[in-house]
Chain A
Amino acid sequence: MAGDAARAAVVNIEQALAACAKGDKSALHCIYEQECPRMIGVAQRILRRRALAEEAVQDAFILIWRHAGRFDPERGAGLTWIYAILRNRAVSILRDERRVDPQEAPLAKEAASEEDDPETVISKLSDAKALRACLEALPEQRRGMVLLAFVQGLSHGEIAGRLGLPLGTIKSWIRRSLMALKECLG
Chain B
Amino acid sequence: MTDKPDPEILAGEYVLGLLDGEERRIFEARLLHDAVLDTAVARWEERLAPIDATANPVRPPDGLWPRIEQALTTRQGRELASSPAAALSERLGHWWNSLPLWRGMSLVGAAAVVLLAVGLGAALDRARRQPVMVAVLLTDTNVAAAVVNTFADGRVELLPLQDIDVPQGRALEIWTLWDRAVGPRSVGLIDRARAAPLRLDNLPLGNDQLFEITLEPASGSPTGRPTGPIIAKGLTARRL
Q: How large is the interface on A (under 10, 10 to 19, 20 to 34, 35 or more residues)?
A: 35 or more
A11 to B51, CA, bound (A): 20
B103 at the interface (CB under 8 A from A): no
**Are A125 and B227 in contact, with the CB atoms below 8 A?**
no
Q: How far is the CB of B240 from chain A (nearest CB, A)?
A: 25
Q: How far is the CB of A146 from chain B (nearest CB, A)?
A: 7
Q: What does DSSP make chain A's interface, helix, strand, loop or mixed? A: helix
B110 at the interface (CB under 8 A from A): no
**Are A25 and B69 in contact, with the CB atoms below 8 A?**
yes
Q: How far is the CB of B44 from chain A (nearest CB, A)?
A: 8
A134 to B8, CA, bound (A): 17
Which residues of A have CB within 8 Å of B45? 76, 80-81, 83-84
B89 at the interface (CB under 8 A from A): no
Q: Which of A36, A67, A95 contacts B20 (CB under 8 A)?
A: A95
**Are B57 and A37 in contact, with the CB atoms below 8 A?**
yes
Q: How far is the CB of B231 from chain A (nearest CB, A)?
A: 13
Q: Which of A44, A50, A75 contacts B42 (CB under 8 A)?
A: A75
B210 at the interface (CB under 8 A from A): yes
**CB under 8 Å from chain A, chain B span 10-48:** 12-13, 15-18, 20-21, 38-39, 42, 45-48
A81 to B47, CA, bound (A): 13
**Are A77 and B68 in contact, with the CB atoms below 8 A?**
no
B129 at the interface (CB under 8 A from A): no
A149 at the interface (CB under 8 A from B): yes
**Are B1 and A150 in contact, with the CB atoms below 8 A?**
no
A22 at the interface (CB under 8 A from B): no
Q: Which of B17, B21, B226 contacts A87 (CB under 8 A)?
A: B17
**Are B60 and A77 in contact, with the CB atoms below 8 A?**
no
**Which residue on A lies nearest to B68, using beta carbons?**
A61
Which residues of B have CB within 8 Å of A27? none
**Are A150 and B16 in contact, with the CB atoms below 8 A?**
yes
**Are A153 and B17 in contact, with the CB atoms below 8 A?**
yes
**Are A149 and B47 in contact, with the CB atoms below 8 A?**
no
Interface size on B, residues (CB 8 A): 52
**CB under 8 Å from chain B, chain A span 32-46:** 32, 36-38, 40-42, 44-46
**CB under 8 Å from chain A, chain B span 51-78:** 51-61, 64-65, 67-69, 71-72, 75
Q: How far is the CB of B211 from chain A (nearest CB, A)?
A: 12
Which residues of B have CB within 8 Å of A66? 222
Q: Which of B21, B53, B72 contacts A127 (CB under 8 A)?
A: B53
Which residues of B have CB within 8 Å of A29? 65
Q: Which of A45, A92, A131 contacts B50 (CB under 8 A)?
A: A131
Known contacts A150-B51, A168-B1, A174-B18, A182 near B177 by CB under 8 Å: no
A to B CB contacts below 8 Å, 7 in the list = A36-B64, A37-B57, A50-B58, A62-B68, A83-B49, A96-B184, A182-B12
Residues of A within 8 A of B (CB): 1, 25, 28-29, 32, 36-38, 40-42, 44-46, 50, 53-54, 57-59, 61-63, 65-67, 75-77, 79-81, 83-84, 87-89, 91-92, 95-97, 99-101, 115, 121, 124-125, 127-128, 131, 146-147, 149-151, 153, 155-156, 168, 171-172, 174-175, 178-179, 181-182, 185
Which are the 4 A-B pairs with shortest beta-carbon distances? Answer: A128-B50, A37-B57, A41-B55, A178-B12
